[in-house]
Structure formats: C-alpha cells, structure tokens
Amino acid sequence: MLYIEKYNGYLADVPNIEFVRCDGTVFAYDELNSASMTAGHNMITITGGQGNFPLAYIDTDSTLEFQFESSQFTSEIFEMANGVTMEEGDFGMLESNRFDVETGLKINIPYEVKEGSVIIRGLDEAQSDASGKFVVSITASTAATSGKTVVTFHEGDVTVGQVVRVAYQRRVVGAGKVPVKTTSTTAKGSLFAHWPIYSDGTSCADAAVKAILHLYIPRVRVTALPGFSNSYKSAATTSLTFAAMDPKLGSKSMYDLVYEPMDADGNIVTKSSVATGSVGWITSLAGAGAAAASASA
C-alpha cells in the first residue's frame, strides 16, 4: 500500500485556546507567545532468567500536560484558573502618594477616600484643628461629580510648598475584582487548542495555511496557577499549566487531534457530503449540563 501524506504540514505558530470550565463559563486566549503539549508514559520492567534481560514491560501510568504563556495580561486568567467569578463594582484599595502643601496649608487628593483611612506619619487625624493634627474633608463620587478629598493641617506642622507623603484607602471605580479565597480550588473543564498548519510553499496552488490542527482534551485541571514577573519597560507574561484527567467516557478517549484541511484559497470548507446525523459532535463538553440548566432557568 502506498502511503500518501495527506494530513501533514508545518506547525510554526502558537494556537488559539478555549477553556470551558465545569460551570459552563468559556475563557478564550488568542495572544499567546508559546504553548506546548507533553505526553508521558511510565512502565515497570520485569527482568529475570540468565542474563537478567527484560521479560516484560507493564504499563503503570500515563500523563498529558498542556502549558501556555500569554503575552497579554488579563485578570480573567486568574478568574478562570482559581475557579471563581469576577466581581465588578467599586472597591477600596490602599495606596500612597506625595502631595504639595498648598495655600491654606491644604493638600488636595483628587479621589474619594474611605473615612478614617488617611495616614500621615507623625500626625493624627482629628475632627477639629489642633497641633499635631489634620482635618479631612471628603466629597463622595457620583455619576456626575468626581470624588475628592482635602486634608488641612495645623499652622506650624507643615509649610506651604512642603511635600508630604499620604497613605489612604482610595475608592476604585468601575473595577473588576478576582476574589481568590482560602477555599478556592483550581479549575476543571475541557480544553480546546487550534493551530494553523502551513504548506511547504513549493506548489503555486497551495495557500500559506493549508489546514487547522484542533486539540480537544475532554477533562483537564489547572495544576500550576498563573503568576507574572516583570521589570521596567519589559512586558510581563502569564503562564498556566493544565494536566489531563481520565474523563470516564465510554469511548475511553483521553484526547483528540483533528486535522481540518482548508480549501485551495486557505478558507474553511463549509460544504460537506456527510449527513448531519453522522457528524461526530462533542457530547462530553464540560459545563454542558450547567449551561443547559442556566438556559432553562
């Protein structure tokens, strides 16, 4: 039988990824700078007889890991990996800044701060003017007005033009918070990855992209949570690692690789002679039950 290379090409790009968490939430990542899939298989060796050569190799365990690194920072990757839901709203956050003391022995903080949260080393907050004290006046933020805070000092404690460092808890407006708790567990779900397959370029009829390679892992769990490190003017990357788990399917499938040929122009083929009833639809998608329940609620 003559072997004809049909499902081949060159893999020289990063994939786009979708992760379907078990609660039905879909997370997508399409700005990666690296990705890898690593399969492992371990065996024990039975030896014996004269020469003590191997008599048998017995399978013990198999592993499959998928790791990617994203060029784009996104809070959603922390939401996804920790199995939590992002909260949107206004939140408090401590920060500090230097401010110039202006005429009237005042400093103007252009934000709404939490009452009682202003800290200035060597001085204490008070309700009225006194030596060693400062008075805080807060204007709340509204839909029409920006919040602000004025700190007024006692004469003799500071001078006009002096720079004072102030710590305070600022109102962070319209923010997204990922609430990782001590009880949070790493996410489980289904993973999809899609790579472009490039042609060799020797045929004038070939488009640059000749196919798409799809990877489907029915059940994975996050085994290395995301983090990041950065330095001045260097882009931070965020990495994540998944490990495949036995999905307990009747087909005993651990993962699928699907090679999808493109047409001569490099476009997805949309016409098929295969009956819809014969399509191998995915029936074991993580979160399918949760999504259905949400849709019917």
Our count of domains for the chain comes to 2
According to the model, what pLDDT value does residue 10 have? 85
Handedness of CA 148, 149, 155, 161 (dihedral sign): negative
Q: Is residue 10 part of a domain?
A: no
- Dihedral angle computed from the Cα positions of residues 76, 79, 82 and 85, in that order, rounded to the nearest 10 degrees: -160
- Average pLDDT over all residues of the chain: 88
Task: Examine the domain organization and report whether 121 and 39 are in the same domain.
Answer: no
Long-range contacts from 107-110, C-beta under 8 angstroms, 24+ separation: 107/150, 107/151, 107/153, 107/164, 107/166, 108/148, 108/149, 108/150, 109/148, 109/149, 109/150, 109/151, 109/166, 109/168, 110/146, 110/148
Task: Examine the domain organization and report whether 189 and 292 are in the same domain.
Answer: yes
Instruction: Give the whole-number percent of the chain exceeding pLDDT 70.
Output: 92
Task: Examine the domain organization and report whether 97 and 153 are in the same domain.
Answer: yes
Domain limit, last residue, from 120, 146, 177 = 177
Q: How far is CA 78 from CA 143, 155, 176, in A?
A: 30, 49, 12
Distance (Å, rounded) from C-alpha 246 to C-alpha 193? 19
Write the Ramachandran bin of 156: left for phi over 0, alpha for psi from -120 to 50, otherwise beta.
Answer: left
User: What's the CATH number where 212 sits?
Assistant: 2.30.110
- Does the pTM surpass 0.85? The reply is no
Residue numbers of the domain that contains 167: 88-177
Which tokens in the block code for residue 297?
């609620």
Task: Examine the domain organization and report whether 137 and 240 are in the same domain.
Answer: no
pLDDT interval class at 293 (50, 70, 90): very low
Task: Examine the domain organization and report whether 79 and 158 are in the same domain.
Answer: no
* Inter-residue contact 90 to 169 (CB < 8 Å): no
Task: Examine the domain organization and report whether 190 and 119 are in the same domain.
Answer: no
Q: Is residue 100 part of a domain?
A: yes
pLDDT interval class at 244 (50, 70, 90): very high
Q: Is residue 162 part of a domain?
A: yes
Domain limit, last residue, from 177, 195, 228 = 177
Lowest mean per-residue pLDDT among 28-42, 197-211, 216-230? 197-211
Task: Examine the domain organization and report whether 196 and 280 are in the same domain.
Answer: yes
pLDDT of residue 287 exceeding 80, the answer is: no
Task: Examine the domain organization and report whether 162 and 272 are in the same domain.
Answer: no
Q: Is residue 6 part of a domain?
A: no
Distance (Å, rounded) from C-alpha 79 to C-alpha 238? 13
Task: Examine the domain organization and report whether 64 and 100 are in the same domain.
Answer: no
Q: Is residue 59 part of a domain?
A: yes
Q: Is residue 29 part of a domain?
A: yes
Task: Examine the domain organization and report whether 93 and 169 are in the same domain.
Answer: yes
Task: Examine the domain organization and report whether 69 and 92 are in the same domain.
Answer: no
Task: Examine the domain organization and report whether 146 and 287 are in the same domain.
Answer: no
Q: Is residue 7 part of a domain?
A: no
Average pLDDT value for residue range 84-91? 95
Q: What are phi and psi of 262, to 5 degrees?
A: -95, 170
Q: Is residue 232 part of a domain?
A: yes
Domain limit, last residue, from 177, 202, 234 = 177
